[in-house]
Amino acid sequence: MRGSVAALLTRVSHELAAAGIERPRLEARLLLAHALGVSQEALLARPEREVSAPNLAALLARRKAHEPIAMILGRREFWGLNFAVSRASIVPRPDSETLIEAALKEQKPREHVRFILDLGTGTGCLLLAALLEFPHAFGVGVDASVDAAALAKQNAAMHGLHKRAAFLCGNWADAIASRFDLVLVNPPYIESDTIARLAPEVAVYEPRRALDGGKDGLDGYRAFLPQLSRLLAPQGCAVLEIGRGQQNAVAALAARAGLETTALYPDLAGTVRAMVLRAAQPVKNQLALRAEASNE
């Protein structure tokens, strides 16, 4: 495609709008800048200049088919960092940044956090963002997909964190025997029957295994919650991502696994998104309570 920057932006944004893309003008800028290999700022600096973008038509066709813009660009920003993305994993979402915010509030001082575990690591965005914020920590990311674990390892190298992180392919924490100061988990939590009704960007292009939480959306929690007590260090906590309206059901599952919910954090839309769990404190027996009372 050839023409002035302004003309191409107008043409592409009109085609995206006709295809039902919500932010056509913004995405037109992203696609044209990507096609030309320049930043958006450089693109808009001279809107009148004539350019040739031979690959723009192919990029536009992919987006009109509702392939996620992040997968077309090959990257997505999370916690101020760019992460490589692929169809091996779900695309990082701003809502998930709530887990990092919760971790920073719950685990102080930061230098006391030495070991971090990320279950269902995907792109590695949660683990790598946490490692930047907890500078003395070493992290382990686990994913059921070999390709996702490899993608996370690539992102660790890209951000210079490869010496502070290891990535494994496995079923939740089955192969993990260590204890951690912080455990992060973003499991699949969408009900199976609703996935087909999601936007095609999600339902068609993102891996179903990373979305499908079973009939009630809770299968993933049932799988890993019983393992958390043995994974948490004495002062450690787990921060889980949960779906809308799931906090009571997940808290009940956690309680049966010997964990207590100590905090809930909403995302920017006000939806409870992050749940903090700690090992439940044992109830003192009556003799111990009487002994304490007699000493007062």
Identify whether the C-beta of residue 247 lies closer than 8 Å to the C-beta of residue 257: no
Alpha-carbon distance 11 to 177, whole Å?
56
Domain range for 154 is 90-279
Question: How many domains would you assign to the chain?
Answer: 2
Name the one residue in this structure whose structure tokens are 């973008």: 53
221 alpha carbon, distance to own chain's centre: 16
Per-residue pLDDT averaged across 183-207, rounded?
A: 97
| Structure confidence by residue, pLDDT tens digits, 116-172 | 999 999 999 999 999 999 999 999 999 999 999 999 999 999 999 999 999 999 999
- The answer to whether position 102 is within a domain reads yes
Residues counted in the chain: 296
For residue 282, give the DSSP letter.
P
pTM confidence score: 0.92
Q: Is residue 71 part of a domain?
A: no
- Does residue 166 share a domain with residue 54? no
- The residues that bridge with 141 in the sheet, in sequence order, are 118, 167
For residue 295, is it within any domain?
A: no
112 in a domain, yes or no? yes
- Reading the block at residue 211, the tokens are 């979305």
290 occurs within a structural domain: no
- State both tokens at 13: 């944004």
| pLDDT tens digits for range 48-83 | 999 999 999 999 999 999 999 999 999 999 999 999
Q: Are strands 165-169 and 138-143 parallel, antiparallel or unpaired?
A: parallel
Q: Token pair of 116, please?
A: 């971090």
Q: Are residues 203 and 115 in the same domain?
A: yes
Inter-residue contact 99 to 184 (CB < 8 Å): yes
The answer to the question of residue 76 being in a domain is: no
